[in-house]
């Protein structure tokens, strides 16, 4: 039906019980322009290695599920223009048809779980879009976190979303939202939002323990760890808010819907900030990768 192709270093890490961090690939194909996308993907993998774990970037290539992408596969993916954006709804169809696809947070979690990987890193998760009361646009990432036992490190939900509604839904779904080292939720490109942190923990060890306890109690689903962007790299909320509003208005005027919404907004904000949003995005994903590696190592140590 399907098989999983492991990159050699991931295969070895699995057999030696080394900590592994899964990485999504939609950020490469739909979240960043070429060549920054491929450069960032490699840097992020090296950040995971430097922090003591093995990176496993996940994608579907010619119908085969890849866990860990070798250089040539990553290059192909980063430059290809016909790569599908895969979430829970389309992952299996892409495999069945022999297609190429990049995995969102939701699909990355599904594959990570199949591969026995406990932790993933991303930039920002999907969530409840502004105006969701009309569009019903709520990312499948949220329901995935509720049911699949993989822990994710992000810099918050992307600030293009309705953050208040996003965190309400996370609470409704019973997903622990843990903020690292501060009492407010971060807002992706900004270190601070005006929303309180549902839970605060300051070390990877505490987070790993919370994970183990949930698992031991038989509570299904994952955990979301919000790791604020380092202050020096942030774009403050006040500065970004009018730009996000402009991008949202343009999306509405151009009738952008469904899967196209997030990539459209990220690209417009990149243009409107003259690339500053991309620089911030690169810093935060690298920061998340390092913390995810520490959490993966702590989980491994507890087992
Ligand atoms: N984080 C980024 N850039 C991205 C994404 C996350 O910094 O492009 C992707 C992730 O793959 C996430 C997806 O799962 O956007 C959410 O898309 P949607 O809102 O259509 O569910
Ligand atoms: Mn959506």
Per residue in 207-216, pLDDT (tens digit) is 999 999 999 9
Task: Determine the 3-state secondary structure of 181 from DSSP.
Answer: coil
Choosing from 22, 26, 247 the residue with most ligand 1 atoms within 8 A of its CB, the one to mutate for a pocket test is 26
Per residue in 42-91, pLDDT (tens digit) is 999 999 999 999 999 999 999 999 999 999 999 999 999 889 999 999 99
Q: Which residues line ligand 1 (CB under 6 A)?
A: 24, 26-27, 30-31, 104-105, 122-124, 126, 139-141, 259, 262, 266, 281
> What is the residue extent of each domain of the chain?
4-302
Confidence (pLDDT) at 303: 87
Distances (CA, A) of 228 to 174, 200, 232, 287: 22, 12, 11, 9
Q: Are 120 and 24 in contact (CB under 8 A)?
A: yes
Choosing from 31, 121, 292 the residue with most ligand 1 atoms within 8 A of its CB, the one to mutate for a pocket test is 31
Ligand 2 centroid, distance to 77 Cα (angstroms): 22
Interatomic CA distance for residues 234 and 240, integer angstroms = 10
Is residue 18 annotated as a catalytic residue, yes or no? Answer: no
Tokens standing for residue 235: 């774009």
Q: What angle do CA 136, 142, 145 make, to 5 degrees?
A: 160
Q: Given the structure tokens 């993989």, which residue do they identify?
A: 150
Confidence (pLDDT) at 261: 94
Is residue 165 annotated as a catalytic residue, yes or no? Answer: no
Write out the DSSP string of 278-297: HHHHHHHHHHHHHHHHHHHH
Comparing CA positions, the residue from 72, 47, 73 lying closest to residue 62 is: 73
Ligand 2 centroid, distance to 206 Cα (angstroms): 32
Confidence (pLDDT) at 81: 85
User: Over the chain, what is the mean pLDDT?
Assistant: 97
Q: Which CATH class is domain 4-302?
A: alpha beta
Tokens standing for residue 40: 């960032």
Choosing from 27, 190, 283 the residue with most ligand 1 atoms within 8 A of its CB, the one to mutate for a pocket test is 27
Task: Determine the 3-state secondary structure of 123 from DSSP.
Answer: coil
Task: Determine the 3-state secondary structure of 11 from DSSP.
Answer: helix
Is the pLDDT at 275 greater than 90, yes or no? yes
Is the pLDDT at 153 greater than 90, yes or no? yes
For the segment 213-222, the average pLDDT, to the nearest whole number, is: 96
Ligand 1 centroid, distance to 296 Cα (angstroms): 22
Q: What is the pTM of this model?
A: 0.96
Confidence (pLDDT) at 56: 98
Helices (H) and strands (E) in the chain, counts: 13, 11
Per residue in 24-35, pLDDT (tens digit) is 999 999 999 999
Ligand 2 centroid, distance to 141 Cα (angstroms): 9
Comparing CA positions, the residue from 137, 117, 100 lying closest to residue 25 is: 100
Which residue's CA is the closest to the ligand 1 atom numbered 21?
A: 139
Task: Determine the 3-state secondary structure of 94 from DSSP.
Answer: helix
For the segment 136-158, the average pLDDT, to the nearest whole number, is: 97
For the segment 136-151, the average pLDDT, to the nearest whole number, is: 97
Is the pLDDT at 1 greater than 90, yes or no? no
Residue of 14, 85, 158, 259 with catalytic role: 158
Write out the DSSP string of 140-172: HHHHHHHHS--EEEESSB-TTB-HHHHHHHHHH
Q: Given the structure tokens 């690339």, which residue do they identify?
A: 275
Ligand 2 centroid, distance to 269 Cα (angstroms): 18
């Amino acid at each position: 039906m399907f098989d999983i192709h492991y990159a050699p270093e991931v295969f070895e890490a699995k057999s030696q019980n080394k900590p592994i961090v899964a990485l999504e690939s939609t950020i490469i194909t739909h979240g960043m322009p070429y060549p920054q996308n491929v450069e960032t993907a490699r840097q992020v993998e090296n950040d995971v290695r430097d922090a003591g774990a093995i990176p496993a970037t996940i994608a579907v290539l010619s119908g085969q599920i890849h866990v860990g992408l070798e250089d040539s596969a990553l290059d192909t993916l980063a430059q290809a223009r016909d790569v599908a954006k895969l979430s829970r709804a389309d992952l299996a169809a892409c495999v069945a048809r022999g297609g190429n696809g990049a995995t969102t947070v939701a699909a990355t979690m599904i594959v990570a779980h199949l591969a026995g990987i406990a932790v993933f890193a991303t930039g920002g998760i999907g969530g409840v879009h502004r105006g969701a009361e009309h569009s019903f646009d709520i990312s499948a990432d949220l329901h995935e976190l509720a049911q699949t036992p993989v822990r994710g490190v992000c810099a918050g939900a992307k600030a293009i979303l309705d953050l208040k509604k996003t965190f309400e839904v996370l609470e409704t779904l019973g997903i622990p939202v843990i903020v690292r080292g501060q009492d407010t939720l971060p807002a992706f490109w900004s270190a601070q939002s005006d929303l309180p942190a549902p839970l605060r923990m300051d070390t990877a060890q505490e987070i790993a323990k919370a994970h183990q306890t949930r698992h031991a109690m038989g509570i299904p689903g994952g955990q979301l760890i919000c790791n604020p962007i380092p202050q020096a790299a942030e774009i403050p909320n006040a500065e970004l808010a009018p730009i996000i509003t402009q991008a949202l208005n343009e999306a509405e005027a151009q009738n952008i819907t469904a899967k196209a919404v997030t990539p459209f907004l990220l690209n417009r904000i990149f243009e409107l900030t003259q690339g500053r949003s991309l620089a911030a995005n690169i810093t935060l994903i690298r920061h998340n990768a390092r913390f995810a590696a520490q959490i993966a190592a702590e989980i491994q140590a507890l087992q």
